[in-house]
Structure 1
Amino acid sequence: MTPDKPNAPAVKPQGQWHHGNLRESLVQWGVALLREVSLDQLSLRQIAKSAGVSVGAPAHHFGDKDGLLAAMAAQGFRELIALRRSYLAKLPADDEQGRMHALVRGYVEFAQANGSLFELMLGPGLGNRLQYPELAEQGRASYLLFCEIAQPLLPPPAQCAMPHADALQMLWSSIHGLAILRVHRRPAPMKASRSRTLDHQVETMTQFCLAAIAGLRIP
């Protein structure tokens, strides 16, 4: 597959995304293409061709390529939130370990399955993200979902070794680090093959986060 003449995505976007809602169609086709090519290979021309519109059509809705990429990143956050909520919905509210596992599983699984999109969502490709309100809102919503589940597991503020905001940031950073390693296919350099599996690493990260939370409690 070459950057200039890619094949159509192997899996077309779900739904009837076409000229009735061109903006949504372009976002969905862009996301679909990112499952076939790298972020560096993606072009407005490819997306417009896949959507069946002129190469100038994306500019009408998004201004430039970054505008479309920001909308695609926002859609990625929506999909990430939906995946994690689908896992959480299967668990009782008092299953603390299970709910933390669902957060980790959903985040890392999504990243591994959508490497180029995940890179767009959280990588350095887009400049000032705050100029794209939709992206900023969805990124914030994704992090707030993590806080919604993880913060009740922390010790009360008076008994916690660090402010909750700092603790949550460090927990998320650990999970994000594992997700990045999975995206780049760089599992831990250990001989045992089990240590390289997604299931094992998700379970290990879950236990790590729970142990870190327990260690934050001031005796």
Structure 2
Amino acid sequence: MAEEKSYHHGNLREALLMAGLELLQEQGASGFSLRACAARAGVSHAAPAHHFGDMKTLLSTIAAGGYLTLAQTMNTARKSVGTDAARAIEAIAAAYIGFAMGNSALFSLMMDGERTDGANADLQGGVAALKAEIAAVASPASRRTGPAGPHTPALMETFLWSMLQGLSQLAIAGRLEEGGAVSRQASDLVRTVSTLMLEG
């Protein structure tokens, strides 16, 4: 049996979050409990409730961290390609899908409206950070007017996020062709959609 990690660096809240993330990655949200989280962190079974109140708040805070990490990953990818709008869309798509595939349990929790609390301030902040990254690449397309009418920022952001989410779910389920961290099938679709968004 593997020796469990014990955290004693003085920041109990962060220790519980780290322990919770490890448990989530190993067992998924269905096998998650405050008692198991406390045991993993090597603290009293009452510690998680003291710091977070209940399991939904703890899971919401873990999910918030996932959103912030994903947003930063997308930000780095976007800035690495300069000012080209189409390449920026492709870059954040690869970052988004790659994150989802590499962190499937966390990604699933981030999108789980039952196990997390949408009113949680940390979670709302994380979602806002992610939406800001999507808005940054969707905004050039929002300046166009297509056959169906104006491409408003909200419309383009929702469209792009929906595509990224759908492709990520298909990739996690193994429903896309193989071809690296992000399949060629997904990459080709993103390239086609970015062209349509930006050029019509």
Query: TM-score with structure 2 length normalisation?
Result: 0.86
Count of aligned pairs = 195
- Which residue in 2 is equivalent to 1:156? 143
Query: What is the DSSP-based 3-state SS (H/G/I as helix, E as strand, rest coil) of the residue aligned with 1:138?
Result: helix
* 2:86–2:198 CA contact under 8 A, matched in 1: no
Query: What is the DSSP-based 3-state SS (H/G/I as helix, E as strand, rest coil) of the residue aligned with 2:27?
Result: coil
* 1:101–1:202 CA contact under 8 A, matched in 2: no
Deviations 1:74-97 (A, max 9, x none): 01111111211222232212x222
Q: Which runs of 5+ in 2 are unaligned?
A: none
* 1:33–1:47 CA contact under 8 A, matched in 2: yes
- From the superposition, tell whether residues 65 and 7 of structure 1 become closer, same or farther in structure 2 (CA, over 3 Å): farther
Deviations 1:49-80 (A, max 9, x none): 11110111000010010010011000111111
- Which residue in 2 is equivalent to 1:72? 62
State percent identity of aligned pairs. 30
**1:211 has 2:195 as partner:** yes
**1:27 has 2:9 as partner:** no
**1:196 has 2:178 as partner:** yes
Q: Which runs of 5+ in 1 are unaligned?
A: 1-5, 188-194
**1:141 has 2:125 as partner:** no
Q: How do 1:101-116 residues align onto structure 2 when only pairs under 5 Å count?
A: 101-116=90-105
- Which residue in 2 is equivalent to 1:41? 31
Deviations 1:35-62 (A, max 9, x none): 2222101221221111110111000010
Moved beyond 6 Å, runs of 4+: none
**1:63 has 2:53 as partner:** yes
Q: What is the one-letter code of the residue matched to 2:30?
A: D
